[in-house]
Structure 1
Amino acid sequence: MDLIATASHTFTTSPALVSKDGSISFAALDRETAEICQRLAQHGIGKGARVALVMENSIPMLMLLLSLMRMGAVAAPLNYRFPASKVQRLLDRLEPALLIGPDILTSGLEAAEVLRPEILLETADGPWHISEPLRFDNSPATPVSIIHTSSSSGQPKAAVHSLANHYYNALGSNENIAFGPGDCWLLSLPLFHIGGYAIIVRALTGGGALAVPDRLMGLDEALGIYPVTHLSLVPTQLYRLLSNPENREKLSEMKAVLLGGSAVEPSLLEEACRCRVPVYLSYGSTEMGSQITTTSSPATSMTAGKPLAWREVAIGTDNEILVKGPCLFLGYLSQEGTERKTDAEGWFHTGDTGAISPSGELRVTGRKDNMFISGGENIHPEEIERALLSVNGIVRAMVVATPDSEYGMRPVAWIETREEAPGDQEILETIRESLGRLKTPIMLNRTTAWKLLSGTEKIDRQWYREKGSRQK
């Protein structure tokens, strides 16, 4: 299975990668990645070897990721925004044969071998002496990536994916949202995140181009430079883009804006609909290679859509969302190897909770591990967050538990508001009507400076839990 050779044969002259310096066709991608594979082999990298990358989104990083995938090595892109001590802990667990990254990001890090990317990307002065020709026809079951989860409540887990996992995820995505020659998907998410990595494989299987913005280029600028037809965003990114009238027009002209990564507030979807932005709501996970469910047309109501092709979804005990299918990862990396995490029937338990409508659409309601008990009642913070977000002027909300001598635990909330938002007392009275007294927060904290997980727009729920545990 050689996705790059197949893409080169099928989409030969179509652009595969687009940057400020021009474009690279699928045929050129075929040639250049084959050369990079040879250089990697010179450094002892072959099928099954783990290679960590600490790099920002760029054409060089994409070329390296594609080359590693092609030769059957296991690429582990790491969050370059993490403190060096945290990156080192991840490296100690990964034990990579090679670490690739610029000096500014790898200085002080320890690995078996450390290389600057240009060593592998620059044209060699002489011939490469390979003991035998490299073969790129890997089994679909070949592990090709390790992507860390962006856990909002604990330590990131190292999810191991096979070539088939990524391939079938891309097939299902492209069947739902067509992405082919003439289309252009902006690389708007980091490549160490499954949402960014998945776009690469969609391009290979569908034949669309991947636009790679400069390191310092904002989304606004990128949308003005590249012929973007498809865009992946998290809610915070869409909220910021819609605040600029020029962006609204650009977004309305796109074929698809895929929105996921965290809960979407109803007011944001309403604003996108008013601006005629073709938003496709999605629910996904690192373990399933990105998308699991997605709306089949631009969303007008709060649903995560139906399962895409090559996925199965069920609701288990305690309303937990269960998933399986050829997209499902091989398992988590552990000291013993790759630890498979499925039940006897092959279902992966996501830890998310939800419900499936009679028409087959999934509605995600929260996380099992976020629940706490107050006065003997199960309290789901996400239910309270949705109630807060339904109040006009509230654009972001986070609810956690705080100790209470009478009830055991009570909810406290942090909110971000616009000018038109009502006062605290009115907000609390409004949501009390739908939630009842026990679920109504005992305190509102207003903020615009959220504590986020490094390299993401996800709120660090664990940080707020710890802060909430100290509030009185």
Structure 2
Amino acid sequence: MELVTQAAQTFGDQPALITDERRWSFADLDGDTARIATAFEASSIRRGDIVALVAPNSPALVLSLMALMRMGAVAAPVNHRFPANHIEGVLARLNPAMTLDAAKLDAFVADAIARTGATFTAATEMERPVSVIHTSASSGKPKAAVHSLSNHYHSAMGSAQNLPFGPGDCWLLSLPLYHVGGYSMLFKCLLGGGALAVPSPDAALAESLTHFPVTHLSLVPTQLYRMLRADGGPERLRSLRALLLGGSAVSAPLLREAICERVPLYLTYGSTEMSTQVTTSPTPVTKARGDSGVVLPYREVAISVDGEILVKGECLFMGYLDNGELREARDKNGWFHTGDMGELSGDARLTVLGRKDNMFISGGENIHPEEIEKALTSIVGIEEAVVVPAPDAEYGMRPVAWIKARSDSPDDATIIASLKSTIGKLKTPVAFHRIQEWQTIPGSAKIDRSWYRKLAEK
């Protein structure tokens, strides 16, 4: 199956890629990506070769990722915001046949498109690897997840059955292409026939929503929080057909605010290893139920005896790239252990309780920080919270909290009294730190929990 050619035959002159300077139809996309694929082959890139692309979102990056997919090479978009030594480590482990930074990539694509003729050999095998997407990591070594064409194909197909995206629709590329949520947009576009809007890297989200005819949007909670406070932000969000929200836990106040503003919000739970979405709300959320929607087609979810979320299905990745070898990450029954704790209802709705590795023991009791965070954000005036363990001579560990609160939020004594009555003394943080902005994972809007954990250990 060659997806770009198929999309060109099906959707023809419908818009496929929209930028500040140009619009590509699906037919245009077919021609340009064919020329880029030919250029890669002329540079001695063959099927199965890894090509690393260290660059921000751009039309050149979108076209190159599609061209590599067409010819059977393996695209490895790398977080360009990582420190230089971190990028060097990632590249050393990938050992790519070619590496292109932003400047080289732009020049390569411009030269390829200017040439005539396209004689590359298209690859159609569904089970071949097409991408290496790294898991988020603020320190240490991020894992390199390898996905097949089949993984991404079934991920997009299952998503579309729940949330259609077709001709006349436009999805803003608001997530980086080195993130599985961003990369998955290529397949939503090619299979559904909707357009992908690619803003300039320095464009503000609110500006892009005004500039492009956006109908669909993917955000993480921090982005939604900022948009709801931007001038005209709530009105623009209301005009969307769908806003897909995932990437991390959504605080109760943020969810209530979005519902109050009538944002067409779809909550989702997913992972890099599952090629993005696992569960998604079947309809726009109108109540703060606390779940992450229903299990999508081509996915299976189970809860282990100890409460861990297990996943498998057509979307489950091939494995991790480790020293040039593919290392599978499934148990003997084919399940991938996510490291997340959760509950699955009888109607296949998943509620995520928190990370298994975030749990700590205090005074002999298991403490889940997410439970405390939920209790904190239920207090009027507290908008976001992160709870981590701090060493304690008597209890071993005690919780401490960082909170983002409004000016009308209660003082610490009132917060402590409220928490003691709802979750008990042992789970009540021993210290509260009020902040204006979160420390986030480089190249991501996710709060860097490990950074706060290390801070608490000092």
TM-score (norm 1): 0.94
C-alpha distance in 2 between matches for 1:154 and 1:465 = 15
1:141 to 2:141 alignment: no
1:317 to 2:313 alignment: no
Which residue is 1:100 aligned to? Answer: 100
Superposed CA offset, 1:349-390 (max 9, x none): 000000012222100000111111111100111111111111
1:328 to 2:289 alignment: no
Q: Are residues 185 and 219 of structure 1, via their aligned partners in 2, closer, same or farther at CA, if it must alter by over 3 Å? A: same
1:195 to 2:184 alignment: no
The amino acid across from 2:151 in the alignment is N
Q: Is the 8 A contact 2:60 2:105 kept in 1?
A: no
Instruction: Within 5 Å, give how 1:219-368 maps onto structure 2.
Output: 219-244=205-230, 246-299=232-285, 300=287, 301-335=289-323, 337-368=325-356
Residue 449 of structure 1 and its aligned partner are, at CA, apart by 3.1
User: SS of the counterpart of 1:210?
Assistant: strand
1:169 to 2:158 alignment: no
Which residue is 1:400 aligned to? Answer: 388
1:91 to 2:101 alignment: no
User: SS of the counterpart of 2:306?
Assistant: helix
Q: Is the 8 A contact 2:126 2:150 kept in 1?
A: yes
The amino acid across from 2:202 in the alignment is L
User: SS of the counterpart of 1:268?
Assistant: helix
Q: Is the 8 A contact 1:248 1:275 kept in 2?
A: yes
Q: Is the 8 A contact 2:330 2:337 kept in 1?
A: yes
Which residue is 1:119 aligned to? Answer: 108
Q: Is the 8 A contact 2:50 2:96 kept in 1?
A: yes
User: SS of the counterpart of 2:407?
Assistant: coil
State the aligned residue count: 456
Q: Are residues 259 and 43 of structure 1, via their aligned partners in 2, closer, same or farther at CA, if it must alter by over 3 Å? A: same
C-alpha distance in 2 between matches for 1:152 and 1:56 = 18
Which residue is 1:376 aligned to? Answer: 364
Q: Are residues 4 and 339 of structure 1, via their aligned partners in 2, closer, same or farther at CA, if it must alter by over 3 Å? A: same
1:14 to 2:14 alignment: yes
C-alpha distance in 2 between matches for 1:285 and 1:157 = 12
Superposed CA offset, 1:21-42 (max 9, x none): 1310001101110100010011
C-alpha distance in 2 between matches for 1:295 and 1:202 = 17
User: SS of the counterpart of 1:38?
Assistant: helix
The amino acid across from 2:263 in the alignment is V
TM-score (norm 2): 0.97
Give me the identity figure in percent: 51
C-alpha distance in 2 between matches for 1:445 and 1:466 = 15
1:410 equivalent among 379, 392, 398: 398
Superposed CA offset, 1:235-283 (max 9, x none): 1111111113512111111110000001101111111111110000000
C-alpha distance in 1 between matches for 2:182 and 2:423 = 37
C-alpha distance in 1 between matches for 2:439 and 2:313 = 35
C-alpha distance in 2 between matches for 1:153 and 1:76 = 19
* CA RMSD between the two structures: 1.5
Q: Is the 8 A contact 2:246 2:270 kept in 1?
A: yes
C-alpha distance in 2 between matches for 1:292 and 1:124 = 37
User: SS of the counterpart of 1:122?
Assistant: helix
C-alpha distance in 2 between matches for 1:125 and 1:80 = 27
Structure 1 ranges of 4+ moved more than 4 A: 123-128
1:182 to 2:171 alignment: no
Q: Is the 8 A contact 1:295 1:304 kept in 2?
A: yes
Q: Are residues 76 and 322 of structure 1, via their aligned partners in 2, closer, same or farther at CA, if it must alter by over 3 Å? A: same
Q: Are residues 430 and 10 of structure 1, via their aligned partners in 2, closer, same or farther at CA, if it must alter by over 3 Å? A: same
Structure 1 unaligned spans of 5+: 104-114
Residue 199 of structure 1 and its aligned partner are, at CA, apart by 1.0
Q: Is the 8 A contact 1:100 1:117 kept in 2?
A: no
C-alpha distance in 1 between matches for 2:213 and 2:438 = 32
The amino acid across from 2:4 in the alignment is I
Which residue is 2:45 aligned to? Answer: 45
The amino acid across from 1:342 in the alignment is R
Instruction: Within 5 Å, give how 1:42-81 maps onto structure 2.
Output: 42-81=42-81
Q: Are residues 124 and 464 of structure 1, via their aligned partners in 2, closer, same or farther at CA, if it must alter by over 3 Å? A: closer
User: SS of the counterpart of 2:253?
Assistant: helix
